[in-house]
Structure 1
Amino acid sequence: MTIYEQIGKGYDLTRRADPDIAAQLAKHFQIKSDSSYLDVGCGTGNYTLALAKHGGIWHGVDQSKQMIDTATNKSNTVAWKVAEAEALPYADGTFSGVLCTLAIHHFAALIPAFREIYRVLAAGRFVLFTATPEQISKYWLVEYFPEAMHKSAEQMPSLKNVRYALNEVGFHSGDIEYYSISENLQDLFLYSGKHRPEIYLDENVRSGISTFALLASADEIAAGCQRLEADINTGRITEIVNKYENNQGDYLFIIADKVLIMN
């Protein structure tokens, strides 16, 4: 993933698996110790390794060599590979479950990637953690970085399109579980500072978030941070955060099943 070659170097300074998100993912998989699982778009392997602690035989794949090199240096308990989601280097029916966290917006197209994921799954579960354009448009970050947030929302597949692609390749897609940012979230992805606005003033945090690293202009970041800092100092930020409160969740889990029909 060429964009992550760019931001991959310092990625783990601010990006780590959040224990609560990892626990929810593990719950959806109902991991069995002798079954194999795949993390597609695994990045530096943070969630792969967190899930591996719950059991199972884990594999991680990412199109960024830099990310996979970093993951390999962390642990050899997972089998890491560089590959595209649209061309997975595994036999049909290899895995009991497939995971994808905050990565489907980097797929060239959903249907070819989902078709490959469906192919390498035996009867099992595909669990996604993502955000919809509608959710992103309700982040209070829109107030300070409107252009970058518009671009960020634009690149995210809608829930309707994700469901369509899942159904098109054969998945039984159903369960949606909305996720709201907690105050002690440990993985500093895009809206991780929902309750901690000051973190966006830290360049290290912004450099680990693709929206800031790749979609925002230097001028917009400078101006937005200046206004954000002023609002934090005056306390106006509370009013801004409250203005964007909604009940649609900040992210969501999508759970899809591959069901083998016996003749």
Structure 2
Amino acid sequence: MAVYEQIGKSYDLTRRADPEIAARLAVHLQVKSDFSYLDIGCGTGNYTLALAKHGGVWHGVDQSKQMIDAATNKSNAVLWQVAEAEALPYANGTFSGVLCTLAIHHFAALTPVFKEVYRVLAAGYFVLFTATPEQMSKYWLVEYFPEAIHKYAENMPSLEKVRYALNEAGFNSVSIEPYSISENLQDLFLYSGKYRPEIYLDENVRAGISTFALLASANEITTGCQRLAADINTGHITEIVNKYKNNQEDYLFLVAN
């Protein structure tokens, strides 16, 4: 996740824990006050801190020193550490729950990470919040930024691969809760502008989204934003958004135990 060294400086301008997503994560983790929990790929700690308000002793790890420095500056209520997800600096059975939000596409391979999670988990749940390539192919953003979305989808493990890696690591059951973007979503990640297309014209918003910050070419961003702005102005954007309506929700909560 060292890629985030590049976008860490402006990340928190547009990225914050969404209360609805944080509440669902807390429910899936079944957070209890006397137990210890871990957030892997925690970034600047937005969801770690939101979950810590629900109780428990929280730890957060990220490969990016810049992200961990930003998290540390926010709060010392969580025990932050720079570490690789493939080599977690904790003893076997340390935690009663592990969290990973919007980060699995940054891992070189899933099985080694999931095996480490399994090792440090005493009991309880491993909860992931992610998207699948199939879901991403249905985002209307494909209309304006096809190369960037295609590259991102290529990096994103399929649901089948995630399930396989979880089974390989020792998790024996995985449940799924689909998630659809809400109109007042507060965390401006990739498809947060599903109902607010104008946010993608904001350079700060794009800077906090790895797809734009790291995968999209300058030319594609310029061209895509010009087309998007024109379609917003004419109202043609409504037609585009409707064209991509589907019954597959936009993201998933995966709960393994």
The structure 1 segments of at least 4 consecutive aligned residues displaced by more than 6 Å after TM superposition are none
The aligned counterpart of 2:130 is 130
SS in 2 for 1:195: coil
How many Å apart are 1:123 and its aligned residue? 1.3
What is the number of equivalent residue pairs in this alignment?
A: 257
1:67-146 alignment runs, 5 A limit? 67-146=67-146
SS in 2 for 1:7: coil
Native 8 Å contact 1:101 1:129 kept in 2: yes
Distance 1:22 1:148 in 2: 28
Distance 2:193 2:79 in 1: 33
- Residue 27 (str. 1) matches residue 27 (str. 2): yes
SS in 1 for 2:126: strand
The aligned counterpart of 2:225 is 225
The aligned counterpart of 1:50 is 50
1:1-263 alignment runs, 5 A limit? 1-257=1-257
Per-residue Cα deviation, 1:224-255 (whole angstroms, up to 9, x for no partner):
00000000000000000011011110000000
Per-residue Cα deviation, 1:139-166 (whole angstroms, up to 9, x for no partner):
0000000000100110000000000000
Distance 1:29 1:204 in 2: 32
Distance 2:229 2:164 in 1: 41
Distance 1:244 1:53 in 2: 37
How many Å apart are 1:93 and its aligned residue? 0.1
- Structure 2 stretches lacking a partner, 5+ long: none
Question: Which amino acid in 2 is paired with 1:83?
Answer: A
Percentage identity across paired residues of the two chains: 83
SS in 1 for 2:6: helix
SS in 1 for 2:10: helix
Native 8 Å contact 1:39 1:99 kept in 2: yes
SS in 2 for 1:232: helix
Question: Which amino acid in 2 is paired with 1:140?
Answer: W
Native 8 Å contact 1:163 1:173 kept in 2: no
The TM-score normalised by the length of structure 1 is: 0.97
SS in 2 for 1:172: coil
CA RMSD of aligned residues (A): 0.5
Question: Which amino acid in 2 is paired with 1:225?
Answer: C
SS in 1 for 2:184: coil
SS in 2 for 1:26: helix
Per-residue Cα deviation, 1:35-86 (whole angstroms, up to 9, x for no partner):
0000000000000000000000000000000000000000001000000000
The TM-score normalised by the length of structure 2 is: 0.99
Per-residue Cα deviation, 1:177-211 (whole angstroms, up to 9, x for no partner):
10000000000000000000000000000000000
Native 8 Å contact 1:28 1:127 kept in 2: yes
Question: Which amino acid in 1 is paired with 2:208?
Answer: G
Distance 2:85 2:174 in 1: 22
Distance 1:29 1:207 in 2: 30
Distance 1:205 1:184 in 2: 15
Distance 1:167 1:144 in 2: 37
- Structure 1 stretches lacking a partner, 5+ long: 258-263
Question: Which amino acid in 2 is paired with 1:233?
Answer: N
